[in-house]
């Protein structure tokens, strides 16, 4: 069973930053890795489900024309709204995913520390929703903690294996260390160097 909404509401009651997104170097480093891993410098539209208190959202907003953020927690969304108040290109909505996947199509979908809160059935539904919502040439980035989380139905490794199996898209980048997995997939296999004319466009899939 996927983790219930009240789990997140309890986390945020009395603590605006329950995972210490602002203070921990792990979190700062993860955000830096995430931004550096994006195959494009700018995206037209980005969707970030599970935006929490908006720390990653603030960085993503600098890389796109329009950013849609969602979270299942009303408290988290209010914190994110305050964090992003100066950004005119951000919209925030409360959703329970995958059942309430928003309408629209996106050039980038970011799944950061989200998917292991879902059970296997809900994860498959979310992957299908994400794949259908990507524009041609779009990317999906996933980043997840690898150590066990007692409350979560799935591990980060299980999530990434399932993402790769079910997305059916070329994997453009994979970073793995003891703490996290970060991967990027694309509807097209073109690398950054190929897009910028630095490498031949051979039509071959990335060797990642």
Give per-residue pLDDT as tens, 27-39: 999 999 999 999 9
The model's pLDDT over 97-149, given as tens digits with 9 standing for 90+, comes to: 999 999 999 999 999 999 999 999 999 999 999 999 999 999 999 999 999 98
Tell me what pLDDT residue 15 has.
73
* Domain with 178 in it: 5-195
CA nearest neighbour of 173 among 137, 128, 207: 207
Query: Per DSSP, which regions of the chain are E strands?
Result: 43-49, 64-71, 90-94, 106-112, 134-145, 171-176, 180-186
Q: Evaluate if residue 184 carries a pLDDT over 60.
A: yes
In a domain, 208, yes or no: no
Q: Can you tell me which residue has the tokens 């195959």?
A: 39
In a domain, 204, yes or no: no
Work out how many domains the chain is built from and give that number.
1
- Cβ(49)–Cβ(142) below 8 Å: no
Sequence-distant (6+) residues with CB within 8 A of 61 are 67, 84, 87, 89, 90
In a domain, 202, yes or no: no
| Least confident stretch, 7-21, 24-38, 169-183 | 7-21
Number of residues that this document lists for the chain? 208
Q: Evaluate if residue 206 carries a pLDDT over 60.
A: no
CATH of the domain at 61: 3.40.50.150
Sequence-distant (6+) residues with CB within 8 A of 77 are 51, 69, 70, 71, 92, 93, 94
In a domain, 201, yes or no: no
Banded pLDDT at 12 (limits 50, 70, 90): confident
In a domain, 140, yes or no: yes
In a domain, 25, yes or no: yes
């Amino acid at each position: 069973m996927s983790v219930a909404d009240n789990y997140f509401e309890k986390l945020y009651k009395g603590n605006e930053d329950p995972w210490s997104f602002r203070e921990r170097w792990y979190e700062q480093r993860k955000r830096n890795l995430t931004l550096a891993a994006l195959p494009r410098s700018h995206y037209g539209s980005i969707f970030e489900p599970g935006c929490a208190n908006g720390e990653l959202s603030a960085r993503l907003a600098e890389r796109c024309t329009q950013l849609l953020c969602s979270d299942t927690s009303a408290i988290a969304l209010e914190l994110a709204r305050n964090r992003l108040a100066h950004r005119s290109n951000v919209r925030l909505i409360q959703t329970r995913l995958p059942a309430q996947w928003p309408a629209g199509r996106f050039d980038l979908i970011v799944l950061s520390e989200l998917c292991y809160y879902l059970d296997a059935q809900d994860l498959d539904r979310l992957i299908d929703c994400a794949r259908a919502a990507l524009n041609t040439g779009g990317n999906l980035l996933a980043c997840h903690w690898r150590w066990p989380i007692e409350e979560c139905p799935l591990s980060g490794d299980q999530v990434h294996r399932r993402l790769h199996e079910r997305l059916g898209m070329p994997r453009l980048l994979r970073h793995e260390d003891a703490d996290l997995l970060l991967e990027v997939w694309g509807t097209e296999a073109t690398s950054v160097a190929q897009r910028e004319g630095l490498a031949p466009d051979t039509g071959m899939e990335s060797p990642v």
